[in-house]
Chains A and B, each alone.
Chain A
Amino acid sequence: MNTYLYEKDLRQMKLTILESRRHDAVVLELAATLGIKRQQLRKILIEHFDMLFLENLPARCDAARETGDDTEKLLGIPLLTQAFRLLSKEEGDQIKEQYLERIENGITEETARSEAQMEILVLIRS
């Protein structure tokens, strides 16, 4: 039987990377903006990215924090599109527009935000 040479389960090693202090801080930050648990976000990250990208997450977040207006920062759009690359630029803009539209239609900020969070999660998990 043929076995794959050097193909190993990387999940444990990816988790070790994410447990480091600076990584833990950015994961907690994004998990709070998305309204999910840290473990759930870690699972998403481990599924989506290779080890090198995970190592670079804190530095990418430092770069991404300098961009975006207040609404985008509240929804975590710069982090999601630029640093984590979980959403494309267009998807990020769309979510922001929908959020602003809802607030104009008289929905409270909190509900609008949780709806935006749901949309983001659906997009990420698709």
Chain B
Amino acid sequence: MSMLQYLKNTVRSRSIHVAYVNVGSCNGCDIEILACLSPRYDIEQYGIYVHNNPREADVLLITGAFSSQWEDKLKPLWDKIPHPKVAVAIGNCPISGCVFNRPETLVDPPVSKHIPIAAEIPGCPPRPTEIISTILSLAPIIFKDYEETKK
């Protein structure tokens, strides 16, 4: 491992920037992400920052069962995120559509049709602790030695 890679690994392990995007959820998962910010769970002690700005994000949290307005918007949003990047589906909706995937519905799950999803957290909604532990266990797998393994 080169010195540069070592430095990048060290920095990246304590600095994970998160953006979340709601593509048609009921809000339940969104407020559980917000609850992660609270001093009770204190997401920032692990070096995770929620900016909600795709251009400086490393992790994109996706909630919701993909409504039609996002069809031409989610892919550009995903492209704007700089490498290395990872998308996490939160809740049942992005995975299967949950209760909304019925006849007559307007949503079009799963989200993995549109962008690559690295991890899925089932639950309606999942607990804040599950969200934090997923990000923490996923980040080293994706970000460690990113430049060297890419070659």
Contacts and interface: CB of A to CB of B under 8 A. Distances in A.
Give the interface residue-count category, chain B.
Answer: under 10
A16 B68 CA distance: 12
A6 B68 contact: no
B73 A6 contact: yes
Nearest to B72: A8
Interface in B69-89: 69, 72-73
B106 interface: yes
Interface string A1-13: 0000010100001
A9 to B, nearest CB: 11
Interface residues of A, number: 4
B55 to A, nearest CB: 14
A8 B70 CA distance: 11
Contact of A16 (B72, B73, B106): B106
A20 to B, nearest CB: 11
B79 to A, nearest CB: 13
B21 to A, nearest CB: 14
Contacts of B106: 16
Contacts of B73: 6
A1 to B, nearest CB: 16
A6 B72 CA distance: 8
A16 B73 CA distance: 20
B72 to A, nearest CB: 7
Interface string B42-83: 000000000000000000000000001100110000000000
A8 B73 CA distance: 10
Nearest to B68: A13
B143 to A, nearest CB: 30
B54 to A, nearest CB: 13
Nearest to B67: A13
B103 to A, nearest CB: 16
A64 to B, nearest CB: 29
Interface in B82-108: 106
Interface string A78-98: 000000000000000000000
6 contacts: A6-B73, A8-B69, A8-B72, A13-B68, A13-B69, A16-B106
Interface of B: 68-69, 72-73, 106
Interface of A: 6, 8, 13, 16
Give me the 6 closest cross-chain CB pairs, A-B, nearest first.
Answer: A6-B73, A8-B72, A16-B106, A13-B69, A8-B69, A13-B68
